[in-house]
Chains A and B, each alone.
Chain A
Amino acid sequence: MPSPEPDLAVAVDIGGTFTDVALHDAASGRTWRAKTPSVPADPSRAFMAGVRLALDEAGLPAGALRRVLHGTTVATNMILEGKGARAALVTTAGFRHVLAIGRQDIPRRENLYAFVKPARPVPSSRVLEVRERVGPGGTVLEPLDEASVREAAEACRGLGVEAVAVCLLHAFANPAHEERVAGILRAALPGVAVTASSDVLPVVREYERSLATVLNAVVMPGVASYVSRLEARLEEARVAAPLLLMQSNGGVAGSATIRRAPALTALSGPAAGVVGAREVAAACGVRDLITVDIGGTSADICLIKDGRIGLTQAGHVGPWPLPLPMVDMVTIGAGGGSVARVAGGALAVGPQSAGADPGPAAYGRGGREATVTDAHVVLGHLPERLLGGRMALDAAAARAAVAGRVAGPLGLSPEAAARGILAVVDNHMVGALRVVSIERGHDPRDFTLVPFGGAGPLHGCALADLLGVRRVLVPPAPGVLCADGLLAADLKAEFSRTLPTAGPPDPEAVAGLYRDLAAQAEAWLAREGVAAADRSQARVALMRYHGQGGELAVPWAGDATAAAFAAAHEALYGFRLDSPVELVTVRIEAAGRMPRPAPPRLPPGTGARARARLPVHLAAGLRDVPLYDRGDLGAGDRVAGPAIVAQLDATTLVPAGWSGAVHETGAILLGREP
């Protein structure tokens, strides 16, 4: 039988240790996977090596690729590690120190005697002023003095900067001065990356907008050269397909968009995972889920209602508020490498992490701290060999670390101490799970928990028990879900405009704004090459009661929008006000639909058979527990706790009281016994 013309997409997710590749042929429904060590010095090498491995396995030529999808942490790491480009900020005369002052506060959780303001990505010595002034509503109060811009350009040259951010007061209401300044700087400073706040984030509040623009500038040269290297390697390999990069909003965009606003990729990796979890769940018919992505140093938690991934503009990256549209998730410093310590009689876990090197004591690379992974090893949750047998665990070292660092100081047995470490870290994660669910008016018991990431499935059922959640879905490949997410992501972008003055919506004016934004969105979709039938736009209104500082996003429904806002306010906060409802920002969420990979089909199983029995310390005492190899399980096979299911990229702990079956997509659906 002649095989149909392949419709190939490849997804590459670069992690700290490994680069994961998924190659999918939409025509045949087949997926091939590859894993290759990451090359931190030049991630594009691992990128191309992984793509080649997958193509070789599939026996298909590079020229057959139609789409290349990529999640990148290049921008994130530059922000978190402060290793971005040397940049300058150009701002309105009189406001040089906006960035240094910030919001003028000692943060609520900090101690006023010990607090040190984090060093800004651009120090005050590289902030330059230009003479101009725009007022509220975008009125020009003082024309732009172009001579002052040329002086600033000269100063930038003297400072030897690689990037310049431009953020002028009230530019969100009138970007004309900013655009002119950026134009002059670009002409005067060839080879220097220039970005203006109105390109990055046209929203009110000068500190947050300046910061977002500066962060964009700081990552711009690095991301641009990274994207160029990737494109060069693809060209070398005769790949004609476009390179699409994952953004923080859970959608992909072409490299031109990302070069202009690389800060959009700040949460690229975690967002891809959330999309992957949504797809895996949808294939099992699950549309209400809470995802928990647990890696080595952090956990990302996100709630998906009715298959929709929510967006927020109140996110953070490290210590910095970054009000760009991003998947509404909560990140906490708790993961497999989180270190447990006893101080002053109290047990604390994280946020310090043993990282990948030396890593947990159990990795046998010289780590002496007791980590969450070590606690799992002490209790027998992890089989002795990880990663398909390539890495052995040092159980004695794990036990020594837990005994010395935690059990001894607290006067507990090593097993009790290990359980304590897990209880504390689980509780920390439950706090974040509550933030995305209960705090936002959702009852977590109505949701299915989807744990993923290398350490997720070890904690999934315990977290579900703490929240009263009765269903847990373990994806087929929990450790490489980001690559799956890339394959399933749509093209996405937001186009928004903050009204010059907030007020009751004027239907005619609003219609005009939406028309303008819709035209911008259409132009973007066309540039990205999306066919007309695959384009969609959703109108969203950000509203508040007169006087409030925070807005709620509700779908725009003309005259009925205000009532929808009041209902949403009551659902979220428990009360309504008689005050007038104001429209603050209008937004269009544009999407270009991409072909969805067909879900995998697992052949029917013949009954789960344990490979071995492992001694595991359960709450009830030491028991022999069956160990299953996930590769042995077929559709319909049942697993009953207590049990351990091991696979290449993750280990699932099924506690007593939990049981379930393997779905035909390969996911394991677990339920709490009544």
Chain B
Amino acid sequence: MRPSTEAAACDPVTLEIVRGAIRSAQAEMEALIERTAISAFIREKKDFYTGLFDAAGVLAVGSNVPIFGDITGPVFRDFPPETMRPGDLYWYNDCYGSEGAVSHSNDQVLLAPVFRAERRCGFVMAWAHFADIGGLRAGSISPDATDIYQEGIIVPPTRLIEAGRTNEAVLTLFHRNSRFPAQSLGDMRALMASVDLGVRRVGEILDRFGPEVVADALGQLLARTRERVRERLSRTFAHGTHRFTDAIDTDGHGNGPFRIRLALTRSRGPDGADRFALDASETDDQAPGPVNFLMNPSIPGMALGLYYLGGDPTQVCNAGGPQALDAVTLREGSLLRPRFPAPLGMRGLTMMRVLAALNGLINVAGGGAPAAHSAYVIILLRGSVRREPAGPPEPFLLSDGIGVGYGARPEADGIDAVYFVAQENYPVEFLEAGYPVRLRRYGIAADSGGAGRRRGGCGIVREYEILADEAVLAVRIDSVANPPWGLAGGRAGGSGRAVVNPGTPGERLLAPLSDGNRLARGDVLRIETGGGGGHGHPFDREPEAVLEDVLGGFVSREAAQRHYGVALAGDALDAAATAALRADRPPTRAFHRHEYVDALA
């Protein structure tokens, strides 16, 4: 809450300056992690984020990802803020112990208080996905897991550094549980150095502007986001209840589909003010397999907030999003609020489907959110390799994230071939130098983007030849039975698949969410990832754009003709044939998945 004294108020100019200073501190923390971390998962794929919290532990400046829950609450429960001292550093990865503030155990959260003149003024956070923290299989997340104990060591909120003195024993214990302790150690050093840097930088900001002004600035940034999101919510959602249902295919253990049912109700409270309540309690029961998404109640608000902030660079993604919702209801025992110790490792696909369902909710209410996207795909390949012909076999772990297509938007095509915010690929030349695989192909999966006036983003084809004697593969692909829906006449995006030795007599299709797939030297593994849904009637797409898509390998000639009504003569448009095709315009309905429908059940 904002201090009431006149002297403490932060004027609009100072507000912008404080915001810029915090952003630079954040960029500096991120650059340090990127340059010094050891595991490829952090330094090439860049699976890490940072944030700044106010004195009360409320997220004031976050990263542009809707995956942060209430990060500070779990620490405060075990270490009341008034007991904290300068130089302290807190650490956890405990999903159930944090109500889903982190939602799988690989993510390590480090949090440090910032003090000025013996007063606690804020907190700095850095988090990163550690490549291996023990558990059932290398990489710690496996579709085979049936409880969270199989997903690596659990660290409850822990005081890693007490007033400058590091608890080395707890670090030793943690690194001893990793199959790749040198990576674990190096990554932890990088993360600790980053938080240390953040504490110094935020301290300098406090010195420069004074704690009261900074506190007021953070309060204003929160209020600004909250007000903007509420104002936009009221523009999208009429009074009443709006519902949308989406589904993930399977839990990898023979169960599914699992439906995610969201309802948003706008009502008038007793004080006459609007009340926005999100209810996900009708979501299906939790899964035996590791697709449960222990969703912190902040997540839907973070996602809606990010959507409503749009690309405006003056806005800040923070707890103002979650604060814009008056209530979030989840049901204990459901896919989004599983009971301990249900496994969580593969929750990424469910999280991505929740984001698509929120898009759906906005769209049924008449908003302009994107069509659905595919969930990003990951493979984990483990085995051993001899670096020298007579040398000992050394274990390797390749966790390769592969991009997908995102949903088309009213004014823009969906994004082709991206994984998620900030997360990058492993370059072919990097991959081949470090792992026993050779890439045969890395390209766009043609026709995977849903046809539409705006085309859905295309997924990727990535084909590996195995050079290790033997390897075990885990694969995570969703949206196969339930492809990403298209919108307003746009067609659904294509589905992904994993296939071994394609086009040979020994061709073998793998279950999309599975582990224990054995591969041998010389096997070829082809991963195809799904696309995003299209937006608008495909016959309304400019023929020139369709031609460019065909010539660029994004759309096949057949699909151009069948879905877009565009005919080509050689490498040019056939205007007469196109006009003839487009004269017979198929009717559409609100959504498309397998067929055009008015509502997705």
CA distance in complex: A573, B38 (Å) = 14
Within 8 Å CB of B553, what residues of A? 96-97, 124
Q: Which of B425-461 contact A (CB under 8 A)?
A: 425, 427-430, 432-433, 438-444, 460
Within 8 Å CB of B13, what residues of A? 347, 419-420, 423-424
Check if A101 sits within 8 Å of B554, measured CB to CB: no
| Candidates A111, A410, A424; contact of B64 at CB < 8 Å | A111
Check if A101 sits within 8 Å of B425, measured CB to CB: yes
Within 8 Å CB of B402, what residues of A? 104
A76: shortest Cβ distance to chain B, in Å? 24
Check if A346 sits within 8 Å of B15, measured CB to CB: yes
With CB as the reference atom, state the residue of chain B lying closest to A171: B429
A204 at interface by CB-CB < 8 Å? yes
With CB as the reference atom, state the residue of chain A lying closest to B11: A420
B136 at interface by CB-CB < 8 Å? no
Q: Which of A327-365 contact B (CB under 8 A)?
A: 342-348
Check if A124 sits within 8 Å of B444, measured CB to CB: yes
| Candidates A113, A136, A345; contact of B432 at CB < 8 Å | A136
A110 at interface by CB-CB < 8 Å? yes
B37 at interface by CB-CB < 8 Å? yes
A428 at interface by CB-CB < 8 Å? yes
Q: Which of B403-442 contact A (CB under 8 A)?
A: 403, 406, 409, 412-413, 415-425, 427-430, 432-433, 438-442
Check if B443 sits within 8 Å of A96, measured CB to CB: yes
B63 at interface by CB-CB < 8 Å? yes
Within 8 Å CB of B444, what residues of A? 97, 100-101, 124
B311 at interface by CB-CB < 8 Å? yes
CA distance in complex: A379, B224 (Å) = 30
Q: Which of B367-415 contact A (CB under 8 A)?
A: 369-370, 401-403, 406, 409, 412-413, 415
A170: shortest Cβ distance to chain B, in Å? 6
**Given contact pairs A136-B429, A346-B15, A439-B28, A95 touches B443 in the complex (Cβ within 8 A):** yes
Within 8 Å CB of A205, what residues of B? 427, 429-430
With CB as the reference atom, state the residue of chain A lying closest to B403: A104
**Given contact pairs A105-B424, A346-B12, A95 touches B416 in the complex (Cβ within 8 A):** no
B309 at interface by CB-CB < 8 Å? yes
A545 at interface by CB-CB < 8 Å? yes
Determine chain A's interface SS by DSSP, over half rule. Answer: loop
CA distance in complex: A608, B407 (Å) = 67
CA distance in complex: A112, B409 (Å) = 11
Check if A548 sits within 8 Å of B442, measured CB to CB: no
Check if A548 sits within 8 Å of B35, measured CB to CB: yes
CA distance in complex: A223, B138 (Å) = 53
**Given contact pairs A106-B422, A501-B433, A113 touches B370 in the complex (Cβ within 8 A):** yes
**Given contact pairs A94-B440, A100-B444, A106 touches B421 in the complex (Cβ within 8 A):** yes
A611 at interface by CB-CB < 8 Å? no
Check if B12 sits within 8 Å of A124, measured CB to CB: no
Check if B369 sits within 8 Å of A548, measured CB to CB: no
Check if B43 sits within 8 Å of A548, measured CB to CB: yes
Check if B438 sits within 8 Å of A135, measured CB to CB: yes
**Given contact pairs A96-B443, A104-B403, A431-B20, A204 touches B415 in the complex (Cβ within 8 A):** no
A39: shortest Cβ distance to chain B, in Å? 35
Check if A170 sits within 8 Å of B441, measured CB to CB: no
| Candidates A94, A113, A419, A549; contact of B44 at CB < 8 Å | A549
Check if A111 sits within 8 Å of B183, measured CB to CB: no
**Given contact pairs A116-B412, A204-B430, A344-B315, A125 touches B417 in the complex (Cβ within 8 A):** no
CA distance in complex: A342, B422 (Å) = 29
With CB as the reference atom, state the residue of chain B lying closest to A129: B443
With CB as the reference atom, state the residue of chain A lying closest to B421: A106
Check if B24 sits within 8 Å of A434, measured CB to CB: yes
A547 at interface by CB-CB < 8 Å? yes
Q: Which of A146-178 contact B (CB under 8 A)?
A: 169-170, 172
Check if B427 sits within 8 Å of A435, measured CB to CB: no
Interface size on B, residues (CB 8 A): 87
Check if B415 sits within 8 Å of A115, measured CB to CB: yes
Check if A95 sits within 8 Å of B441, measured CB to CB: yes
A577 at interface by CB-CB < 8 Å? yes
B21 at interface by CB-CB < 8 Å? yes
**Given contact pairs A100-B417, A347-B16, A431-B20, A169 touches B425 in the complex (Cβ within 8 A):** no
CA distance in complex: A135, B429 (Å) = 8
Most B C-beta atoms less than 10 A away, residue of A97, A137, A345: A97
Mask of A570-581 contacts with B, CB within 8 angstroms, 1/0: 000111010100
**Given contact pairs A106-B422, A116-B415, A573 touches B306 in the complex (Cβ within 8 A):** no
Check if B548 sits within 8 Å of A123, measured CB to CB: yes
Segment at the interface with A among B70-78, B189-197, B468-476: B189-197
B598: shortest Cβ distance to chain A, in Å? 25
Mask of A250-294 contacts with B, CB within 8 angstroms, 1/0: 000000000000000000000000000000000000000000000
**Given contact pairs A170-B429, A549-B35, A100 touches B12 in the complex (Cβ within 8 A):** no
**Given contact pairs A105-B424, A549-B43, A573 touches B35 in the complex (Cβ within 8 A):** yes
B341 at interface by CB-CB < 8 Å? no
CA distance in complex: A548, B36 (Å) = 6
Check if A125 sits within 8 Å of B440, measured CB to CB: no
Check if A573 sits within 8 Å of B193, measured CB to CB: yes
With CB as the reference atom, state the residue of chain B lying closest to A127: B552
B131: shortest Cβ distance to chain A, in Å? 11
CA distance in complex: A100, B554 (Å) = 10
A617: shortest Cβ distance to chain B, in Å? 15
| Candidates A97, A419, A545; contact of B417 at CB < 8 Å | A97
A390 at interface by CB-CB < 8 Å? no
Q: Which of B277-318 contact A (CB under 8 A)?
A: 306-307, 309-315
CA distance in complex: A548, B38 (Å) = 5
**Given contact pairs A427-B21, A545-B38, A577-B189, A104 touches B424 in the complex (Cβ within 8 A):** yes
A385 at interface by CB-CB < 8 Å? no
Q: Which of B535-567 contact A (CB under 8 A)?
A: 548, 551-554
Within 8 Å CB of A103, what residues of B? 424-425, 427
Q: Which of B1-55 contact A (CB under 8 A)?
A: 11-17, 20-21, 23-24, 28, 30-32, 34-40, 43-44, 46
Check if A113 sits within 8 Å of B193, measured CB to CB: no
CA distance in complex: A73, B430 (Å) = 34
Within 8 Å CB of A101, what residues of B? 403, 416-417, 425, 442-444, 460
B514: shortest Cβ distance to chain A, in Å? 23
A177: shortest Cβ distance to chain B, in Å? 14
B182 at interface by CB-CB < 8 Å? yes
Check if B310 sits within 8 Å of A344, measured CB to CB: no
A206 at interface by CB-CB < 8 Å? yes
A612 at interface by CB-CB < 8 Å? no
With CB as the reference atom, state the residue of chain A lying closest to B39: A547
Q: Which of A415-442 contact B (CB under 8 A)?
A: 419-420, 423-424, 427-428, 431, 434-435, 439
Check if A348 sits within 8 Å of B314, measured CB to CB: yes
A230 at interface by CB-CB < 8 Å? no
With CB as the reference atom, state the residue of chain B lying closest to A421: B13
**Given contact pairs A101-B442, A114-B310, A125-B548, A431 touches B64 in the complex (Cβ within 8 A):** no
Check if B424 sits within 8 Å of A439, measured CB to CB: no
Within 8 Å CB of A575, what residues of B? 36, 189, 193
Check if A431 sits within 8 Å of B24, measured CB to CB: yes
CA distance in complex: A579, B184 (Å) = 12
Check if B21 sits within 8 Å of A431, measured CB to CB: yes
B186 at interface by CB-CB < 8 Å? yes
Known: A110-B311, A206-B427, A420-B11. 11 other contacts (CB 8 A): A95-B441, A96-B553, A97-B444, A101-B403, A101-B416, A169-B428, A344-B315, A424-B16, A427-B21, A431-B21, A549-B40
Could you pull out 13 A-B pairs where Cβ atoms are within 8 angstroms?
A94-B442, A103-B427, A104-B402, A105-B419, A106-B418, A124-B444, A170-B429, A204-B427, A207-B427, A420-B12, A431-B23, A575-B189, A579-B186
The 9 closest A-B pairs by CB, nearest first: A114-B311, A124-B552, A125-B551, A549-B43, A547-B38, A420-B13, A104-B425, A550-B35, A108-B422
